[in-house]
Amino acid sequence: ILLEKVGITSEVQFLRIIMDGIPPLEDKHLFIKDLRFEKVKVRIYQPKIPPTSQSRGILYFHGGVGLFGSILTRYDYGKTLSLLFRYRLAPEHPYPTQFEDCLTATIHFMRTAQDYGVDPSRIIICGDSSGGTLTAAVAQALVDRRDLPKLRAQILIYPFLQSVNFNLPSYQQNEGVPILLKQRTLALGLKYLNRDLSIIEAVSKHSHIPEDLQLKYQKWVNPDYIPHEFKSRGYKPSTMHPFSEEIYTLVKPVFDTVFSPLIAEDNVIAQLPETFILTCEFDVLRDDGLLYKKRLEDHGIKVTWCHLQEGFHGTIFLALWGRAIAFHSGSKGLKKIVNFLRLM
C-alpha cells in the first residue's frame, strides 16, 4: 500500500491500527466480558436472559494471517454463547504461537464449558480465512484427545488450507481479484513466517516442493479433483519448475499440517467432526475449500457446503458489520452459517 511504499508504516501495522480502532458492537441483549483463558485474551458474548437448559457455544478464530485481526466482530447467533479469541500475533510472537494459543484456549473452554452454561457436547469452532486454517488445525489436534469432549462441528469460512499448489484454477482465475490477490496471499504468508519476500516468485512456481512430497500430496492437492464447472472461467495446467533445496529449507514450515491442514494424514481426517465449508467464486482460496470438502466426504464426514457464486474473499466479514457495507453474497452466506448453527 502507499503508506508502506513511502515508509510511513507497514501494511500490517496499518491494518492493526484500523482493526483495533473499531469500537465493540454493543447489544442490549448481551453481556460482553473480556477474560483470559491462561495467556489468551477472550471476549465473551453471553445472552442476558439465560436459556432454560445448557446452550451451544461457538468459539471464533479471527482471520488476518496471524499478523492482524479483530475480536470485535459479533453476530446474533440466537441463544448461543460466543467466544472470540485474541491470539498473540506474528512476527512479535512467531508461528506457531497463534495455533498454540487457539488450542490452549479451546481446551480451557472445553474443560470449563459448564461454568458458562454451555453443553460440552455442543461446542463448535469457527474461523474465516486464516482463522479457518486455525479452526481446521485445532480440530485435527483434538481428534485423539480422549480426555476431552468431542467437538460438535467446525465451520470453515473461505479457509486457507494448503501451500502445495498456488496454481490451482481458483488461483489462476482470481489472481488479480481484490481483496486477496495471489501475490498478496503469498506475501502475507511469508510475513507470517518472518521470511524474506524475495522468494515469492520461486514459491509461486513451486520450487519449494521436493519431488517426493509432490508425489505424496498430489493425491490430495490436485486440480483433477476440482469439478469441471469451476474451470470454465479458464485454467491452464502449470509446469513444474526446478526444485530448490535452499527455498525448501526456508519455507519448510508450510508443510506442517498446522499451516496446511489439507495435507493431514487420512487417519486424522477420518476422525474430524461434522463440517460447514463456505467458498466464494471470486477467491483464490476457493479450491482449498473444494479439495478439503472432497477429502472429508471421502472419509464419510458429513459436510454442509455453501458456495457463494457472486462471493469474494472477506464478504462475510463485511456482512458481520451490518447492512451499510454488506454485499448480498455475504448476507446470504451469513444466514447459511446461522441456519447450520441452529441445528447444532
Q: Which residues are catalytic?
A: 129, 283, 313
> Which spans in the chain are helix H?
2-5, 11-20, 97-112, 130-141, 169-173, 182-192, 200-204, 211-217, 245-251, 266-269, 286-298, 315-320, 328-342
Q: b/e per residue, 39-65, with b = 16+ CB within 10 A?
A: ebbbbbbbbeeeeeebbbbbbbbbbbb
Coil, strand or helix: which one is 105? helix
Q: Are strands 274-282 and 303-312 parallel, antiparallel or unpaired?
A: parallel
Look up residue 30 and give its three cell numbers: 448481551
Cα–Cα dist 43/74, whole Å: 10
Task: With beta carbons less than 8 A apart as the criterion, state whether 99 and 66 touch.
Answer: no
Cα–Cα dist 190/209, whole Å: 15
State the burial class of residue 312 (Cβ atoms within 10 Å of its Cβ: 0-12, 13-18, 19+). buried
Long-range Cβ contacts of 200-206 (<8 Å, 24+ apart) = 202/241, 202/244, 202/247, 203/166, 203/247, 203/251, 204/166, 204/167, 205/241, 206/164, 206/165, 206/166, 206/167, 206/238, 206/240, 206/241
Paired strand residues for 82: 45, 58
Cα–Cα dist 260/283, whole Å: 18
State the burial class of residue 35 (Cβ atoms within 10 Å of its Cβ: 0-12, 13-18, 19+). exposed
Look up residue 44 and give its three cell numbers: 465473551
Q: Are strands 40-47 and 30-37 parallel, antiparallel or unpaired?
A: antiparallel
